Amino acid sequence: MSTTTRDQLNLVFFGSGAFGVPTLAQLAQTHKLHAIVTQPDKPAGRGGKLTPTPIAQFAAEHLPLVPVLKPEKCNDAAFVEQVRAMPHDIARDAWVVIAYGQYLGKKLLADRFAINLHASLLPKWRGAAPIHASLVAGDSVTGNSVITLADKMDAGFVLGQTKRQIGPTQTTGELHDALASDGPALVEQVLQEHAAGTLTQQTQDESLVTIASKMTKADGAINWAMPADAIRAKINGLNPWPGVTVMVNEQPLKLLRAAAMTGATTGATNGATQEVPGVLVDASGRVACGDGLCVQLLEVQPANKKPMAWQAFQNGARLPVGAVLCSMAGASPE
């Protein structure tokens, strides 16, 4: 879609997570921000200190003149009245929602043009963890979608999309930042087409819907009986959170990055290995998997230490060939 002549709009921004920071920064430069709505401060860290959201922190540092609102419940009558009193022309202005964390109800949204930036190519990966889901599933391509808000989660009309290739060793943290950096241009494009009256919308095909459920620490369990490429995708997809952690010599070791599947140097025939899944095949960091192939560990993090390349870890740990990398929790074949 082509972009029309830029037009300054009246906007209200709803967001909490770091994913929306690049778009908020861009919108503040090109439009009139009447308010930033974010989640209330929450306890964080060992001390439980009340900590503002990444959006609130960015606003405090870079946008001190823009009101920051932190309603406990955004659908409460008092807040609905407050935010709806702000200037809004249905034909040209907008509310922009990115990783806000609360459901916006019908009374709040009535007669408002509101759009949401979502980190997947909808209808694929609706839900709370689309970036994790895309990587863990082994997708080679993902992207962003801008949609209208709907009663059903992430089910609105698609107003625009951008695509991005996924690298074989790319982590969720890296892909998150890359997609976040793609957001401003896409959101701006949709806003300008809305203001110009040239915006088109596409209905999502419900038969193609997949769900990206919220991740938990339990998802970090690894089952070495899985195929090598699925294990590679899971290790990369769960970095930085919740992370895949194994026990080696009774010590936890977080697996941060893995390469595409590769064969072993011992007992190998046509790239396959006869080793038991979960066993270290050689000092280079290759671990046997359930399909007879290996995944190569590239980056790890020992307990109470910083992330490091596998070889740096191995130089100190000197794990013997045949060492077993045990999952810290039971896992079922996937």
Q: What is the mean pLDDT of the chain?
A: 93
Exposure string of 135-166, with b = 16+ CB inside 10 Å and e = fewer, is bbbbbeebbbbbbbbeeeebbbbbbbbbebeb
Answer yes or no: is pLDDT of 219 > 50.
Answer: yes
What separation in angstroms does the CA of 240 have from each of 2, 101, 129, 301, 334? Answer: 36, 20, 13, 11, 21
How much of the chain exceeds pLDDT 70, in percent? 93
CA dist 240 and 236 (Å) reads 8
Answer yes or no: is pLDDT of 263 > 90.
Answer: no
pTM: 0.93
Judge contact between 273 and 227, C-beta under 8 A: no
Q: Please compute the mean of the pLDDT values over residues 131-155 and round it to a whole number.
A: 97
Q: Which domains are present in the chain?
A: 10-212 (3.40.50.170), 217-327 (3.10.25.10)
Q: Please give the distance of CA 98 from its chain centroid, rounded to a whole number.
A: 12
Q: What is the largest CA-CA distance in the chain?
A: 72
Answer yes or no: is pLDDT of 224 > 60.
Answer: yes
Answer yes or no: is pLDDT of 273 > 80.
Answer: no
Q: Tens of pLDDT along 12-54?
A: 999 999 999 999 999 999 999 999 999 999 998 888 899 999 9
Judge contact between 1 and 11, C-beta under 8 A: no
Q: Tens of pLDDT along 161-213?
A: 999 999 999 999 999 999 999 999 999 999 999 999 999 999 999 999 999 99
CA dist 192 and 92 (Å) reads 8
What six digits make up the tokens of 299? 């980056």
What separation in angstroms does the CA of 212 have from each of 35, 105, 133, 221? Answer: 30, 22, 6, 18
